[in-house]
Amino acid sequence: METYDLVVIGAGPAGTPAAMAASMFGKKVLLIDKRDRPGGECLFEGCIPSKVLENAANRYKMLKDASKFHVALKSDPQIHWEEVLRDKEAIIKRRADAAFIQIEKNPNLEYLQGEAAFEDNTHIRVGDEIFAFKKALIATGGKVSLPPF
């Protein structure tokens, strides 16, 4: 059974930098995430995808409103959402792959895809494997919870 100085659950914008920093200080680190690549919700569902879509929509709106600013276009602007969505996926893949490459370059840092469950205060299960650890960091983000009205 492998023993790690630190296990980090969640490879998003908090967990990945924390795992990388600890590993750069010589700690043996296991970074665990349910996805096959680091990035977290921000990269895959939230911040990055929404910004790509928002950027395309804003530029389209700007062109649609060009005549209000005395700008004449030869034809009506069109937006090709299929291409925007392909660009979004390419950006996500490029960023996730770049983070994964940085992880692979670090001999003190191991990335493991799977769901983590604590066995006790020094052991964690991922799938059928159990790993020992000294410290754990839970960086899985949060969920929106609306209070009852």
Residue 3, SS3 per DSSP = strand
Residue 144, SS3 per DSSP = coil
Instruction: Give the tens place of pLDDT for each residue, 65-83.
Output: 888 888 888 888 888 989 9
* Higher local confidence (pLDDT), 149 or 33: 33
Instruction: Find where tokens 């792959």 sit.
Output: 97
Tell me if 108 sits within 8 A of 23, measured CB to CB. yes
46 confidence band (pLDDT: 50, 70, 90): confident
Instruction: Catalogue all structural domains in the chain, each as residue range(s) with its CATH number.
Output: 3-138 (3.50.50.60)
Entry pTM:
0.77
Instruction: Give the tens place of pLDDT for each residue, 84-129.
Output: 999 999 998 898 888 888 898 999 999 999 999 999 999 999 999 9
Instruction: Give the tens place of pLDDT for each residue, 136-148.
Output: 999 998 776 778 8
In this prediction, residue 79 carries a pLDDT of 87
147: left (phi over 0), alpha (psi -120 to 50) or beta: beta
Rg (CA), the chain: 21
